[in-house]
Structure 1
């Protein structure tokens, strides 16, 4: 166990719970969790921070996924196919995480987030109701490639905002409502977290003791968030989505130019 003060342990646990709640509703819990880990583990290598983050997040996403699947109308078969691709993508991203400068990715991610926020704002009906007709095989294949391999690779390489990207991609590609997209995204996100964690664990860059403690709080927050999203519906998820996207843009902008 690293030398961490009791005050910092409390901060990390509370942050893990809040991150779990946000992640379960719409993704983006890493926006809180990674900065908290960087603050709490100032002497740790960045790869160790990323690995510990994955060890915490995989527990919360798994709990949220189980909560959603029990209640929400999730089509598990395509979710599992996208998840398998995401697992492979995240392992590839994690393997390269130590050799690529993340500063080069921030401007691109910011542009994507701003476009996403504008799209959601200008289309109030986005994600409020599922499609009336079955989704074509082509769209499922696109989801496997983009949401699975593409976003999975990003999650292993960088991480924050993955759940948000998954929700948006699944809503757009599979014509899901936002609640069902959040539920499906949790299944996929479990795979991305597990794939990246396997690589980080193999490399020995996970602090298991603080991760286990934070994971318990992350799980509690995630299950509360999933239940709230199911209860309040797509309008609530849409509001949280816009808030998280805005926060991600501010965070990335501060890191880039602050």
Structure 2
């Protein structure tokens, strides 16, 4: 029964993550409730497998229809992999709860700005030099890559936000490029957790299949419906992240 519920949540997580990020908000709390007998690092390590699976399928859908800056993504993926590996290493040594109040404030600001600025997420050409674009890309990869390895939930949404706000991408293009970076962060964490023996493959693999199915469906829907649909979904995910972090800050501290 537990594995069926985990697979259901994995499907929903893949669907949501493919559109606007934030799939971890669905499957992480579910896994923590349904798998209380396992250490936190083991549960989080196991969940990286379905996350990677769903993101892979979603990325394949996006890349067929949306132009990709391969040079930029290649650089970002390498840096994000290393940063996520470092974040996951730190997760096994210290508690990450001290960052959640700051993230809660940031997310509230993001939600208000996205809701009030109707043009946010439209394509906005940024007059960046090649050097500036590389600097922004490195910063995005370092910060969010480390965040994904250390905390996790909402990393895909933060990537989309960064591509829009710093590089001027629209929602669809931002979602596409975010998927590639998210693949690298998941792979970085998977590498660490596999080497540490913290992945339960008998749970991870069925969840991965369901997450992949959700990712395929979510990506196809996002591509068909376009920027307006992704913007609405993005707002929903950000608000859900706010609720999650608010609960952690006020009721679990």
TM-score, L = length of structure 1: 0.94
CA RMSD of aligned residues (A): 1.2
Residues 241, 139 of structure 1: CA spacing in aligned structure 2 closer, same or farther, 3 A cutoff?
Answer: farther
Question: Structure 2: any 5+ residue segments left out of the alignment?
Answer: none
Aligned partner of 1:31 in structure 2 is 25
Aligned partner of 2:183 in structure 1 is 190
2:15 to 14, 18, 21: 21
CA contact under 8 A between 1:142 and 1:173: conserved in structure 2? no
Partners of 1:221 and 1:39 lie apart in 2 by 21
SS at match of 2:64: helix
CA contact under 8 A between 2:24 and 2:154: conserved in structure 1? yes
Aligned partner of 1:173 in structure 2 is 166
Question: Structure 1: any 5+ residue segments left out of the alignment?
Answer: 1-5
CA contact under 8 A between 1:37 and 1:49: conserved in structure 2? yes
Aligned partner of 2:92 in structure 1 is 98
Partners of 2:187 and 2:132 lie apart in 1 by 25
1:250 to 236, 243, 252: 243
Partners of 1:200 and 1:53 lie apart in 2 by 10
Note the C-alpha offset of 1:100. Answer: 2.0
1:204 and 2:204 aligned: no
Aligned partner of 2:229 in structure 1 is 236
TM-score, L = length of structure 2: 0.96
Partners of 1:53 and 1:140 lie apart in 2 by 32
Partners of 2:127 and 2:64 lie apart in 1 by 22
How many residue pairs align between the two structures?
Answer: 251
Runs of 4+ that moved beyond 4 A: none
SS at match of 1:105: helix
Instruction: Render the CA deviation track for 1:97-150: whole Å, top value 9, x for unaligned.
Output: 11222210110110110111112122110112242x664324422332322011
Instruction: Render the CA deviation track for 1:183-239: whole Å, top value 9, x for unaligned.
Output: 100000000000011001100000011100000000000011111111101110110
Q: Which moved more, 1:114-123 or 1:184-193?
A: 114-123
1:9 and 2:3 aligned: yes
CA contact under 8 A between 2:56 and 2:183: conserved in structure 1? yes
